[in-house]
A and B are shown apart, each in its own frame.
Chain A
């Protein structure tokens, strides 16, 4: 689907507009990208999320990309403190939060300055005029006032006195100036809700729940929200409002979900379906902590959450719980993965089922904690000393995190192995509508704890899967010892026998390689019988690649898309599928890690398209690079 350049381009006549018409025109748009930007304390994330909910309830397809600073509260009004939230909503199926915003809402000069480069010519910029004070302009590094110096002439700038209007709406409320100021975001939300004809009931419901205990704040927020909505209708800044009709999507019950929520729910579902309690051992880290927060709220399932003293204790406690028969999880991001490596190796050697979730962020070292990257792939596959293979699963979209988390647990239990689940900061905080699955339709997860002492040995194996029995403490007659030292085949007794060591290394490798047997066939989006170019991707690049390939195909280009979910072992049919194409391009948010694997494993002369900016690919970047490849 092409991004119509005019999408919301003429969203409003600025500076003036028509003088008549209490009932304004309504125009149709099939797709709009809005970016809300303000100070960290301006509530832009909340505004964005509520607008997202409203849009989802209006039946649009949606995709979001929050973009917040790592600093908790950088000094107000500075570029470092700018927090953004981008939302793409459409009456068609969409895959990304959009390359560039049609509409930018900038609550202060810093927010304008930090985002202006992304706004296309003729794009709409809505600003709070009163925030453009000399002091704020200086803090943002402006020498003049962009609202008056004609530097914004190529855009449609709509200046609204948000602060003043909010104050008027709450006149006589008795609230402090600070509390009044803090409801400014609701005015903006109300105004945008009118402009795009969003229902505000869900936001009112949300506010009801959030400020239940503070009725005066609740009332103020609702008042301001409605004031913004009415202002949109009556003020003369906007000549028309816009309708983005519902998208045609599969019937069913939907909810809006972020990747971290979906990950948490996937684990809960796996625990319920397997009939085993869930144990999460985790140390807080951006952007993974939300999974810990969410699971901490579901104790009645039962779910154990243990906030450990460090990353190592997080994974170690999970392995201890797995030894005891729990569905054991640990969640982290890059720096935590480094610390967990030794314990993961122990889980490989002792063949205990745990899922390590790496919500990747930009590195190396502390890097950019709130920004996404895909540079942990090789670490996930190989990052342990010794021969320590394990399965790696990667989620493609926020909602896909549910299925991947569920699948990771299923594989861990079936094959008695640690599994690494890869998501990233973009999936973690990004949201999309999710067709809520019927629990009865989820794939079965069978758990058979060993109880029979007859013929029991700790490392006796299932003939098909090569997995060893799960024999948990408390089971009479199965007392046994496991550990990290090289162990004798079957008994696990400490052994330094050279031949035995090789046998065990090869057996574990064979077990992991065998998992690929049960993968579904690799799907090709595009030319199933071969074509000019295939773009291979994995993880959160799904959106831009799929959107880009759709656009290219609409122009008649023979470009296809393969997206991997199983990163290790790779699907057995992948090599053949890739060889059908004249060219193979691998787009990744790293320096070419999947590229290395494909070239090494298949001797296919693939080439990489790489971006390491802590930002997702733009659709246009994929399209342009593919076009170059087709020409070259």
Chain B
């Protein structure tokens, strides 16, 4: 490339219109900051979204963008990526868009392993429709549509993705800019469907939903940063770890006979471990980072390979020959 790309190359001229204080600003800033590092020219990047607060995202990127309909962004993106595999295609969705109305498309795009970067902003609430519970809201959640508390058992985005055999599954946090950037980089480097759950604060309808992992005073005790090949250690003084007790993970204090070698070592290629980490609930800490990464042929590449093979075997399509195929007869 003649001149190096900068953040400004990816900033559109549109005024950003999320509520002041929304976590989406931080995610947008993080993505715009990282894009130049990926080295893909803006004209070869496409952001596709569905409906919801998160789905306004494409308007703010100076790339190609398509704000589609509720829940269906993965399907639009699949059509584009399959027929234009050279493009860098991103999907931006939320917990309602991606896991409720669009749950079907999400699991299918993941199992097919279409080479898309999927960012799911999880704020555990419906924001655009002003405050109903979402498929990731906790049981008991009091919202406008659940005045007596929700009785609806929630989805866990990560284990849904793992269950759909996604080839790259990660979690990061809106305000953790460095971690967000690193995770985006990992996702972008991955060939295949990369799924990132981004914990995102909705300061209007669900403020503080992820306080335990974002509050500077306490987050170190609740946040477990996953690193491939390293033991699971957390805590302000890095004095706590995760150990297996039989088949069950437990928090242990390091010292007093417990050493790092007793702890679980993170292995991104281990699906069973990824499931276990994905299911961590208090008192276990909230893991962030890459849970799972594996390599599998992508759907778009496989389809294009079939097309190329058909062409080399049969030659390029011959319309005249095709129209004249089958049982023909001539009338004089």
Query: 1/0 contact trace for B80-102 toward A, CB 8 Å?
Result: 11111011000000000000000
Contact call B58/A481, Cβ cutoff below 8 A: yes
For the complex of A and B, the 8 pairs showing the least CB-CB separation, nearest first, are A483-B67, A320-B79, A301-B317, A317-B79, A481-B65, A316-B75, A320-B76, A313-B75
A494 to chain B, nearest CB (A): 7
Contact call A483/B322, Cβ cutoff below 8 A: no
Can you list 20 A-B contacts (CB < 8 A)? A57-B329, A251-B332, A252-B331, A255-B325, A265-B322, A268-B317, A298-B322, A300-B315, A309-B108, A310-B104, A313-B72, A316-B68, A321-B80, A323-B66, A343-B72, A436-B324, A474-B87, A483-B67, A484-B68, A484-B69
In chain B, positions 39-88 with a C-beta closer than 8 Å to chain A are 41-46, 48, 51, 58-59, 61-70, 72, 74-84, 86-87
Contact call B319/A272, Cβ cutoff below 8 A: yes
> Is B7 interfacial (CB 8 A cutoff)?
no
With a CB–CB cut-off of 8 A, which chain B residues contact A484? 51, 67-69
With a CB–CB cut-off of 8 A, which chain A residues contact B66? 320, 323, 350, 481-483
Contact call A299/B306, Cβ cutoff below 8 A: yes
In chain B, positions 292-332 with a C-beta closer than 8 Å to chain A are 303, 306-307, 310-311, 313-317, 319-320, 322-332
With a CB–CB cut-off of 8 A, which chain B residues contact A252? 330-331
Contact call A485/B68, Cβ cutoff below 8 A: no
A325 to chain B: closest residue by CB: B84
Query: 1/0 contact trace for A239-259 toward B, CB 8 Å?
Result: 000000010011111111100
A400 to chain B, nearest CB (A): 15
Contact call B43/A255, Cβ cutoff below 8 A: no
CA–CA, A272 and B317, complex, Å: 8
Contact call A254/B330, Cβ cutoff below 8 A: yes
With a CB–CB cut-off of 8 A, which chain A residues contact B72? 312-313, 316, 343
Contact of A321 among B82, B324, B327, B331 (CB under 8 A): B82
Query: 1/0 contact trace for A271-292 toward B, CB 8 Å?
Result: 0110001010100000000000
What is the size category of the interface that chain A forms with chain B? 35 or more
Q: Beyond A281-B79, A314-B75, A483-B68, list 13 extra A-B contacts (CB 8 Å).
A: A252-B330, A256-B327, A273-B319, A277-B83, A279-B82, A300-B311, A309-B105, A312-B75, A319-B68, A320-B77, A321-B79, A474-B43, A484-B68
Query: 1/0 contact trace for A433-473 toward B, CB 8 Å?
Result: 00011110000000000000000000000000000000011
Q: What is the interface of chain A mostly: helix, strand, loop, or mixed? A: mixed
With a CB–CB cut-off of 8 A, which chain B residues contact A350? 66
Residue from B82, B104, B324 with most neighbouring chain A CB atoms (10 Å)? B82
B73 to chain A: closest residue by CB: A316
B139 to chain A, nearest CB (A): 29
CA–CA, A480 and B60, complex, Å: 10
Contact of B331 among A59, A279, A438 (CB under 8 A): A59
> Is B14 interfacial (CB 8 A cutoff)?
yes
Q: Chain A residues in contact with chain B, CB under 8 A? A: 53, 56-57, 59, 202, 205-206, 246, 249-257, 265, 268-269, 272-273, 277, 279, 281, 298-304, 306, 308-310, 312-314, 316-326, 328, 342-343, 346, 350, 436-439, 472-485, 493-494
Contact of B43 among A56, A308, A324, A473 (CB under 8 A): A473
Contact call B322/A481, Cβ cutoff below 8 A: no
Contact of B76 among A253, A268, A323, A485 (CB under 8 A): A323
With a CB–CB cut-off of 8 A, which chain A residues contact B311? 299-300, 302
Residue from A306, A342, A350, A473 with most neighbouring chain B CB atoms (10 Å)? A473
Contact call A481/B306, Cβ cutoff below 8 A: no
Contact call A320/B87, Cβ cutoff below 8 A: no
With a CB–CB cut-off of 8 A, which chain A residues contact B330? 251-254
With a CB–CB cut-off of 8 A, which chain A residues contact B145? none
